[in-house]
Amino acid sequence: MEFLLGRSLLKNAFNLGLAEALRGAAEELGFSAADLMEAEPDAGLGSGGLGRLAACYLESMTTLEIPAAGYSICYELGIFRQKIVNGQQLELADPWLEAGEAWLVARPDEAVQVRFGGTVTGYWENGRHNIRHEGYVSVLAVPRDMMVAGFATGHTNLLRLWEARSPHPSDLSLYAAGQYLRAVEHQVMAETISKVLYPADSHPEGKALRLRQQYFLVSATVQHIVRTHKARYGTVHNFQEAHVIQINDTHPALAIPELLRILLDEEGLGWDEAWNIVTHTFAYTNHTVLPEALECWPQPLMERLLPRIWQLIREISGRYQAGLERCFPGGGHKVRELAILWGGQVRMANLCICACFAVNGVSALHTDILRREVFHAAFLCTPEKFKCVTNGVDHRRWLAQINPGLDALVRDCTGTGDYLLRPQALEALERYQNDAGVLSRLGDIKAGNKLALRDYVLRETGIALNPEAVFDVQAKRLHEYKRQLLNALHITWLYHRLHDEPNGFSVPRVFLFAAKAAPGYTAAKEIIRLICSLAAQISRDPLCRGRLQVVFLENYRVSLAERLIPAAELSEQISTAGKEASGTGNMKFMMNGALTIGTLDGSNVELHSRVGGENMFLFGLHADESKRLRQQGYRPRDVCGRVPGLREALDHISSGFGDGVRYDALLSRLLDGPDADEYLLLADFDSYRAAHARAMDAYPDKERWNRMALLNIARSGVFAADRSVREYAREIWGVPMRE
Ligand code: 26W
Residue 237 among the catalytic residues: no
**Ligand 1 centroid, distance to 49 Cα (angstroms):** 6
The catalytic position among 584, 692, 715, 723 is: 584
Q: Are 518 and 201 in contact (CB under 8 A)?
A: yes
User: For atom 8 of ligand 1, which residue has the closest CA?
Assistant: 202
Which residue of 288, 369, 728 sits with most ligand 1 atoms within 8 Å of its CB, as the best mutation to test the pocket?
288
Q: Per-residue pLDDT tens for 574-590?
A: 999 999 999 999 999 99
What is the separation of C-alpha 382 from the centre of its chain, rounded to a whole number of angstroms?
Answer: 28
Architecture of the domain whose range is 448-714: 3-Layer(aba) Sandwich (3.40)
Residue 385 among the catalytic residues: no
Q: Which residues pair with 149 in a beta bridge?
A: 156
The atom of ligand 1 lying closest to the CA of 210 is 1
pLDDT over 80 at 169, yes or no? no
Same fold, 9-391+726-733 and 448-714: yes
CATH class of the domain defined by 9-391+726-733: alpha beta
Residue 584 among the catalytic residues: yes
Q: Per-residue pLDDT tens for 277-287?
A: 999 999 999 99
The catalytic position among 7, 52, 450, 476 is: 476
The atom of ligand 1 lying closest to the CA of 251 is 1
Q: Are 294 and 251 in contact (CB under 8 A)?
A: no
pLDDT over 90 at 329, yes or no? no
Q: Residue 181 — pLDDT band, cuts 50, 70, 90?
A: confident
**Ligand 1 centroid, distance to 572 Cα (angstroms):** 18
Q: Per-residue pLDDT tens for 661-679?
A: 999 999 999 999 999 999 9
**Ligand 1 centroid, distance to 392 Cα (angstroms):** 14
Q: Are 553 and 564 in contact (CB under 8 A)?
A: yes
Residue 22's pLDDT is 97
**Ligand 1 centroid, distance to 368 Cα (angstroms):** 17
Which residue of 50, 212, 363 sits with most ligand 1 atoms within 8 Å of its CB, as the best mutation to test the pocket?
50
Residue 482 among the catalytic residues: yes
Give CA–CA dist 141/259, Å, rounded.
17
Looking at every residue in the chain, the average pLDDT score rounds to 96
Q: Per-residue pLDDT tens for 299-312?
A: 999 999 999 999 99
**Ligand 1 centroid, distance to 410 Cα (angstroms):** 32
**107-110 long-range contacts, Cβ below 8 Å, gap at least 24?**
107/142, 107/143, 107/144, 107/145, 108/142, 110/143, 110/224
The atom of ligand 1 lying closest to the CA of 295 is 1
Torsions phi, psi for 166 (to 5 deg): -85, 135
The stretch 611-633 carries a mean pLDDT of 96
Nearest partner of 711 among 314, 454, 435, 348, judged by Cα: 435
Residue 128's pLDDT is 87
Residue 331's pLDDT is 76
**Ligand 1 centroid, distance to 581 Cα (angstroms):** 8
Nearest partner of 411 among 438, 444, 446, judged by Cα: 438
Q: Residue 179 — pLDDT band, cuts 50, 70, 90?
A: confident
The stretch 134-158 carries a mean pLDDT of 97
Domain ranges of the chain: 9-391+726-733, 448-714
Region of poorest pLDDT, from 47-51, 167-171, 521-525, 544-548: 167-171
**Ligand 1 centroid, distance to 55 Cα (angstroms):** 14
User: At 45, is the secondary structure helix, strand, or coil?
Assistant: strand
Q: Residues lining ligand 1, judged by CB closer than 6 Å?
A: 48-50, 53, 200-204, 249, 287-288, 293, 295, 362, 391, 580-584, 602
Q: Per-residue pLDDT tens for 466-479?
A: 999 999 999 999 99
Q: Which residues pair with 284 in a beta bridge?
A: 247, 359
Which residue of 52, 79, 287, 369 sits with most ligand 1 atoms within 8 Å of its CB, as the best mutation to test the pocket?
287
Region of poorest pLDDT, from 175-179, 268-272, 434-438, 583-587: 175-179
